[in-house]
Amino acid sequence: MIKLEHVSKAYSAGIPALNDVNLEIREGEFVFVVGDSGSGKSTLIKLLLKELEPTEGAITIGGRKLHTIRHKQVPRFRRNIGVVFQDFRLLKDRNVYDNVAFAQRVIGASVRDSRKKVPQMLSMVGLAPKYKSFPRELSGGEQQRVAIARALVNRPKILLADEPTGNLDATNAWEIMKLLEEINERGTTVIVVTHNLEIVKVMGKRVITIKKGVIISDVDGEYDED
């Protein structure tokens, strides 16, 4: 599904943000990526989205090498990847339904398709009754659920969640992680970048640890931050 071969990324002269990274994530996996600020986690996410190009090495997603994708083909490539951010990034002047439907309009989906898929997604994240509400009327946890519904409405094969619980209290954080686990169980490959090591320890998933641009640990099931 996702393969990085000897991938390095340097922004300027000096220590690279990522240094000779080799990584393989299989279809249907749930993977945490952890590490201190500046370790290279965000660079990894941007490389997977083709927002950045590696300085060295090759990245393959879904059998396709990213360096072969031309600029005009990038939007179509990204349809296979849903993204959830720490700060939700909802459109404040649009209600819940329209926020999710916006992702459908971006890919040119018909209104008929949106009327079917958007309610399905809102039901899945438990927000069907609030489809007319605006972001300011929702809690942080509810806003993140809307963001997840928007990321999934186009049925991507991969979901990247960049610090999805960073702005949430403990209760909402656990609810979001449970939702991401359910999404994974439906077949979506889920990659979560997080600082919340308590969640990482309890959930018992695969954990990739990055330090100063290098993968220093890749364990499955039992994470020990020491």
On whether residue 213 sits in a domain, the answer given is: no
Beta bridge partner(s), residue 218:
208
Residue with tokens 């999805």: 164
Is residue 189 a part of any domain in this protein? no
Does residue 22 sit within a domain? no
Give the C-alpha separation, 153 to 120, whole Å. Answer: 8
Question: Where does the chain have alpha helices with state H?
Answer: 41-48, 74-78, 96-106, 111-124, 140-152, 170-185, 197-203
Find the domain containing 115 and state its range: 91-154
CB atoms within 10 A of CB 123: 13
Confirm whether 215 is domain-assigned. Answer: no
Compute, in degrees rounded to 10, the torsion defined by CA atoms 215, 220, 221, 223: -20
In tens digits, the chain (226 residues) has pLDDT values of 999 999 999 987 777 899 999 999 999 999 999 999 889 999 999 999 999 999 999 999 999 999 999 999 998 899 899 999 889 999 999 999 999 999 999 888 899 999 999 999 999 999 999 999 999 999 999 999 999 999 999 999 999 999 999 889 999 999 999 999 999 999 999 999 998 899 999 999 999 999 999 999 999 877 776 6
User: DSSP code of 12?
Assistant: S
Does a structural domain hold residue 190? no
Q: How far apart are CA 143 and CA 96, in angstroms?
A: 9
| Number of structural domains the chain divides into | 1
Residue 106 lies in a domain: yes
Among residues 212, 213, 207, the alpha carbon closest in space to that of 33 is found at 207
Number of helices (H) and strands (E) in the chain: give both, helices first.
7, 10
What letter does residue 140 receive in the DSSP assignment? H
For residue 134, being part of any structural domain is answered with yes
Task: Give the whole-angstrom CA distance, residue 147 versus residue 166.
Answer: 14
> What pLDDT was estimated at residue 226?
61
Give the predicted TM-score (pTM) of the model: 0.92
Q: Decide if 71 is inside a domain.
A: no
CA distances from 65 to 69, 77, 201 (A): 7, 11, 33
- H or E element at residue 30: strand 30-34
Cα angle value 141/102/79 (rounded, 5°):
95
Query: 219: which strand partners?
Result: 207
- Sign, CA dihedral 63-214-216-174, equals negative
